[in-house]
Every structure is written in structure tokens, then in C-alpha cells.
Amino acid sequence: MKKVILSLSALGVLALFQSCGETTLDPAAVQAKVDSLASGKIKEAEALAIQECETRMATELKAVTDSLVNAAQMANAAQ
């Protein structure tokens, strides 16, 4: 038990020494990084949405066009 307490104390001291040398982050730099990452993600999402919309429109447009052509052919065949 004594070794466990000694080991945990040593780890705590090491963690304390490592945290002393850290520098603080500049809020403007952090915000710029966040904005940069968000901008990239937004552009990717927009590109994906446009691609999916174009695919969907082409598919649905083809179905509607086929339906109209079939209806016109049926109407012409009935005459």
C-alpha cells in the first residue's frame, strides 16, 4: 500500500512540474483555428448537400418526365 501511495505521489509531482511550463493559449488564435475548421466543415457539408440535391432532382425529374411522356403516349394511342 505504501508503494501505491508513493507511486501516486510521484506521478502527481511529475504532473505538477509538467503543467508549470505550459503557456496560455491566445483567445484570438484559438478562435481563428475554430473558424478555420468550421469553415472547412461547412464547405464540405454544402458541397455534399448540393451533390445530393442535384442527384435527387435528376432522379425525380426523370420519373416525372417519364410519367408525362407515358401519359401523352396513352392519350395519343386512345385517339
35/18: higher pLDDT: 35
69/3: higher pLDDT: 69
Q: What's CA 60's distance to the chain center, in Å? A: 27
pTM value is 0.49
C-alpha cell, 13: 509531482
Question: Is the per-residue pLDDT at 19 higher than 80?
Answer: no
Rounded distance, CA 2 to CA 8, Å? Answer: 10
Question: Is the per-residue pLDDT at 36 higher than 90?
Answer: yes
Residue range 1-18: mean pLDDT, rounded: 78
Closest CA to 54 of 42, 65, 46, 64: 46
Rounded distance, CA 32 to CA 25, Å? Answer: 12
Instruction: Classify 25 in phi/psi space as left (phi over 0), alpha (psi -120 to 50) or beta.
Output: beta
Give 29's pLDDT tier (boundaries 50, 70, 90): confident
The residues spanned by each domain of the chain are 27-79
